[in-house]
Each structure stands twice: as structure tokens, then as C-alpha cells.
Chain A
Amino acid sequence: MNSVKILLISEEPNILRTLRRNLISRGYEVSIALDDQEAVDMVCCEEFDLYILDLDFKTPQVDGLAICRQVRELSHAPIIVLSTVGSEATKIEALDLGADDYQVMPFSMGEFLARVRSALRRWATYRTGALNQNNVILSGELLIDTESRQVTIKGDEIHLTPTEYELLHYLAQNSGKVITHRELLQSVWGPEYGDEREYLRVFISQLRRKIEADPLRPAYILTEPGVGYRFARDR
């Protein structure tokens, strides 16, 4: 029995019905929240492995992006955001507020389920701890303990979301090597990804804000213009 718990947040009954049926049929345990209040109440009293949030609320008083922010404040589990708006600005806003993935509607069920599996893989890795021969990666004042998944700077613990951690870990594991955007997306988000460069822009900037002394002049995560990113070796 699969005990993976997913919370669907939307007010659109037809979308809810179809997604719920598909997820339940694949063994997931699915709960539904119809508005912001219900979503927050449920996140507070239950632990979910994945949140799927439809941003496009018809009710003008309900703000999908605000729900995204509230859920992220309460939980580390991945959030997949669904929206009919495909503009880069909205995607970046949602990612900035804590979403891990952004699916533009309409979509086929196969594509949607692939994203669900990717998000859950990342979450499972985060929860169980990555298997790594070397348990500690040290660079300058930054220390990554891959067993406890703790990141510290000068001994102070830095709180990273699962996706931020995976990104930092992958770059640090390959320190000194230029990692292309595509490779980074496929390694962290999953093999279905590759073109979502705005995800990297947002997450790298979040990471820099957390680990760099001066995020505008980064010392750890360096940009290789037009290619990707490189983690500085031997600082």
C-alpha cells in the first residue's frame, strides 16, 4: 500500500475530480482543499508529501499565490503549481514564493503524472537522506553534511528547501565543473525537464541569498553565461 499523501488545492470541481481520480488510481492518498483557509488548516494538522495548487481561483478574494507562500511557510514538501497563465513573470513569482514546479494548463495526464513522480522522488530523497560515499562536502566556510542534509556557513545552520538543497548538493558534488542548465534541471527536477531555465534563475538566486556573503558577487555558485553554473573549487 502506497502511503504517499497528496493535497489538491483548487476550486474547480472538474479539474479536482479528474486529478483526484487519476492519483487515487495510482495508489496515492488524496485530500482536497477548496480554498485558502481549508488549505492552511489541512497543512497545519496533517503532513503531506506533495501539494498540487491550482493558482487560478475564480473567487476574487482567494489568491493562489498567497496560498503558495502560506503552504511553503508551513511545509517543506514540494509544491506543483498549476495555472493557465504561462508568462515567465508569473512562473518566477510562483517559484519565488516557494513552488517547486509550474505546470501550464491544459496538460495531458501523462505529463502531469510524470511531474508528480519527479516531485515525489525529490521529496523521498530529501526525507531519507542522499546516499553519498563522502558524507561531508566542505568549501571555504560552507559545509554540506550529505547524511544529515545539513548546510552550515561558519557553523551556522542554513535552512534550505528540498529543491534548494538538491541543487546545491549537485553543484557542490561536481565542484569546479561547469554544469549546463539542462543537466542541472534533469538531475534535480527529473529527466522530463530541460527547458525551464527560469526555475534555475529563481532557485540559484534564492540559494545565493542564503549562502553567499554578497549574492551579487557570488563566491560559491558562479554563473557561466549562456551555459550554466559552476561551484567554485577549493575556496
Chain B
Amino acid sequence: MDAAALQKQVLELRRQLAESRARNRAMWSLLAEISQRLQASSTSIKAAVSSLLDYDIFWDGSTQHEFLETIDDSVDQGSNLIVLMTLAFRSEASSLEMKPETHTLQEILSTVLDTILAKMPGLELKVDFPPEGEPVFVDYGYLAVALRLLLEVLIEPEPPPAQIELLAAEAENSWLLDIGPIPETIGVAIGHLCQDRFDELLTSDNFLPLSPEKLLKLFTASRIFRLQDIQLDVQTGETEKAGLRLSIPVARPGQ
């Protein structure tokens, strides 16, 4: 190898190292932000428990119930964050193992939509997918989690969107799942995630409207999609609002 080629290789290695450091910093700062959210949950729990343990005041049955509800809700919040962090960091450490099998996409979508509607009963979902078609080759559990995380981010803005549309259509070798509309910020964030520019998400002012929790959800969902060879793209039209397109591979013969 001549000196020029060697020099080029060194520069490339340096670039990769810098990228990797930036990425690490981003992950750690995100972890710190999420830990702070966990502290908020533990604050609610501690405040409610210590209220119940206080003997200077008599709490009637309904107030006691209110404190218990607070504890219940805060435990759920904390536990959801822990699950999210576990998934995100396992995917980052490449220890998230996918076990793909053949499944019908319709069944997975129904499961996910049930969960989302249970969380937000008033949400208007426009769903259109053919009742039959080729099966997909995916890890059912993880795909359901990734879709749920993605939809949660889409329905969480204040005020929530009037309607979310899910349209599934079979194409050659894959199912195309279109989800929309999506806010511009989320579209840009997902665009960065698709290009593996995760660290930029945390340093750019463009993403200020996205909370660390939402970023971590998007990050985790995009990682799970990638681990299952599912392509995620942001679709933008000149007149239409932006949307997402997932290309989910169909099962090949023998799978």
C-alpha cells in the first residue's frame, strides 16, 4: 500500500472514530435525560407513599385511592421507560436477537392498533389493508413493539392529530405500509435515523420540539425495523403532508 492510500485510510478511520464518539456522547446524554424522567416517576411514588405514611393527617378512602392511583400510574410510566431503555441499549449493543417467522401482516397490525386504541380511545384511525395476501417474514413481537412505538410518537403531539391513516398494499417481494400524516419535525428526525445520523438529532435545534422520550422511541423503532430488513422512508409530496412508508419483506418460499 502506498503512502497516499495509507494516509487516506488513516483519515477514514479518524472520521469513523469521531462519528463513533459523537454517537456515544449522544447516547449517554439521552440516557441522562431519560434517567431524569425516571426520577420524576419515583418522585410521584415517594410523595404519594410518604403521604399515606404520614400520621399527622387522616386521609379518607377516596384520597387514599387517589394516592394509590398516582403510585400505580407512576410505576407504569417508570416501567415503560425502563423497557424502552432496555430495548434501545440492547439494539445499540447488538444484543437484540430477532427470530423471524412467517406471519400475516394483518394480524400484527390488528394487535398494534388494539393497543393504540386502548391507550387513546378517541383517536380516529383510518385503516385500509386487504384481508389477504402474502405472509411477511418478521419477528412478530419486536415488529409489534416497533410499530407501537412509532404510532405512539405520532399520536402524542398536543393537540393530537385529527386522524391517523394506515394503508397497507402488497407490492413485489414486500408489503408497503403507509402511515401518515406526520409532523414535519418527526419526518426530519426519522430521515436522520434512516441515515444513521442519530447524534445530530440531539444537537440540532430542529429537534427541540421532540422530547428525549420520543427520540428514544423513534430510535428504537428504527433499529428494530433495520434488524428485520424493513425499510423505513419518509414520503414527502409537494401538496400532501409528509408520511412514512415501511417496506416489509414477504416470506420467500421455504421460509
A interface residue numbers (CB < 8 A to B): 12, 14-15, 17-19, 21-22, 25-26, 56, 58-61, 82, 84-85, 105-110, 112
- Across chains A and B, which 10 residue pairs bring their CB atoms closest together, nearest first? A84-B39, A14-B44, A105-B43, A108-B50, A106-B46, A106-B43, A109-B50, A18-B47, A109-B51, A60-B208
Give B13 Cβ to nearest chain A Cβ, in Å: 35
Known: A61-B209, A110-B54. A17 touches B66 (CB 8 A): yes
Question: Does B63 sit within 8 A of A, measured CB to CB?
Answer: yes
Q: B30-68 toward A: CB 8 Å interface, digit per residue (1/0)?
A: 000000110111111111101100100101000100110
Q: What chain B residues lie within 8 Å of A25 (beta carbons)?
A: 57, 59, 63
- Given A21, A60, A108, which contacts B46 in the complex, CB threshold below 8 Å? A108
Question: Do B40 and A15 touch across chains, with their CB atoms under 8 A apart?
Answer: yes
Question: Do A106 and B51 touch across chains, with their CB atoms under 8 A apart?
Answer: no
Question: Do B40 and A17 touch across chains, with their CB atoms under 8 A apart?
Answer: no
Residue of B nearest to A59 (CB): B211
Q: What chain A residues lie within 8 Å of B46 (beta carbons)?
A: 106-108
Question: Does B228 sit within 8 A of A, measured CB to CB?
Answer: no
- Given B39, B63, B67, B70, which contacts A106 in the complex, CB threshold below 8 Å? B39
Give A192 Cβ to nearest chain B Cβ, in Å: 15
- Which residues of B from 153 to 175 have beta carbons under 8 Å from A? none
B interface residue numbers (CB < 8 A to A): 36-37, 39-48, 50-51, 54, 57, 59, 63, 66-67, 70, 73-74, 77, 208-211, 213
Question: Do B54 and A58 touch across chains, with their CB atoms under 8 A apart?
Answer: no
Question: Do A12 and B39 touch across chains, with their CB atoms under 8 A apart?
Answer: no
Given contact pairs A14-B77, A15-B43, A105-B43, enumerate 18 new A-B contacts (beta carbons under 8 Å).
A14-B41, A14-B48, A15-B40, A18-B47, A18-B67, A21-B67, A25-B63, A58-B213, A60-B208, A60-B211, A61-B208, A61-B209, A84-B39, A106-B39, A106-B43, A107-B46, A109-B47, A109-B50
Q: Please, could you name 29 A-B residue pairs with CB atoms under 8 Å apart, sorted by A? A: A14-B41, A14-B44, A14-B70, A14-B74, A14-B77, A15-B40, A15-B44, A15-B47, A17-B70, A18-B51, A21-B51, A21-B66, A21-B67, A22-B47, A22-B51, A25-B57, A25-B63, A82-B43, A84-B43, A85-B36, A105-B39, A105-B40, A105-B42, A106-B42, A106-B45, A107-B43, A107-B47, A108-B46, A110-B50
Interface contact tally, CB-CB below 8 A: 74
Q: Which of A14, A26, A85, A106 has the most CB of B within 10 A?
A: A14
Q: What chain B residues lie within 8 Å of A59 (beta carbons)?
A: 211
- Given B37, B43, B51, B66, which contacts A58 in the complex, CB threshold below 8 Å? B37
- Given B47, B63, B211, which contacts A112 in the complex, CB threshold below 8 Å? B47
CA distance A57 to B73 in the complex (A): 18
Q: What chain A residues lie within 8 Å of B36 (beta carbons)?
A: 56, 84-85
Q: What chain A residues lie within 8 Å of B41 (beta carbons)?
A: 14
Q: Which of B42, B47, B74, B213 has the most CB of A within 10 A?
A: B47
Question: Do A106 and B47 touch across chains, with their CB atoms under 8 A apart?
Answer: yes
Q: What chain A residues lie within 8 Å of B47 (beta carbons)?
A: 15, 18-19, 22, 106-109, 112
Give B61 Cβ to nearest chain A Cβ, in Å: 14
Residue of B nearest to A82 (CB): B43
CA distance A110 to B56 in the complex (A): 10
CA distance A97 to B254 in the complex (A): 67
Give A22 Cβ to nearest chain B Cβ, in Å: 6
Known: A26-B57, A106-B46. A18 touches B70 (CB 8 A): yes
CA distance A111 to B115 in the complex (A): 40
CA distance A61 to B213 in the complex (A): 15
